Chains A and B, each alone.
Chain A
Amino acid sequence: KNQVEQSPQSLIILEGKNCTLQCNYTVSPFSNLRWYKQDTGRGPVSLTIMTFSENTKSNGRYTATLDADTKQSSLHITASQLSDSASYICVVSATGNYQLIWGAGTKLIIKP
């Protein structure tokens, strides 16, 4: 069964600190993996999209990694800011199927 699992479920860190969020998936055949940021009550906003051949991609202070062999991805946030408080969702797409398989998200809280 195609699934996406994320950890931790929630995370609290101090402003200015770094953090890493994890994603494991069992989607096959793999097409691409995305990380979205979702503020409470808002639509998801794309941070990165990675295909099979990409193992790292950055977007400002966000860096995503992908290991297609172990089917794992991580999202690293550097020098966190209060505005980074949100849910971060890992989403995987299978080849030939544009339906996205969503993780449950990691709720990140940045404290001053």
Chain B
Amino acid sequence: EPEVTQTPSHQVTQMGQEVILRCVPISNHLYFYWYRQILGQKVEFLVSFYNNEISEKSEIFDDQFSVERPDGSNFTLKIRSTKLEDSAMYFCASRGQEASYEQYFGPGTRLTVT
């Protein structure tokens, strides 16, 4: 069964450094999402991406964040100048046709900023 994959599973970085989290969505999906979940808290929407551009973003998704689909398979989240409060699980999700509501989530990347 097709699934969303994410790499790395765990990333440790120093405050102020840039990180890139990578996702490979399900191959025929058209809509892509990033979410984050701070330990013990709710899942929070960051951004949605369709047709090579951002379709929606939350207040969390400020200039520190960017997304890209550099090729036909990868979907990346870049965090510039990481802060301690960026430590969280980051989940990528993808969705197929517009008529389908179903989002499929990857296993997540645990980001630890020290």
Contacts and interface: CB of A to CB of B under 8 A. Distances in A.
Contacts of A89: 43
Interface SS of chain B: strand
B89 A41 contact: yes
Nearest to A6: B42
B22 interface: no
Contact of B110 (A41, A98, A103, A105): A41
Interface in A27-42: 31-32, 34, 41-42
Q: How large is the interface on B (under 10, 10 to 19, 20 to 34, 35 or more residues)?
A: 20 to 34
A99 B42 contact: no
Given A43-B106, A99-B45, A102-B43, A49 B101 contact: yes
A90 B56 CA distance: 21
Interface residues of A, number: 20
Contact of A105 (B42, B58, B108): B42
A102 B42 contact: yes
A40 to B, nearest CB: 10
7 contacts: A43-B91, A43-B106, A45-B105, A89-B43, A99-B56, A102-B42, A104-B41
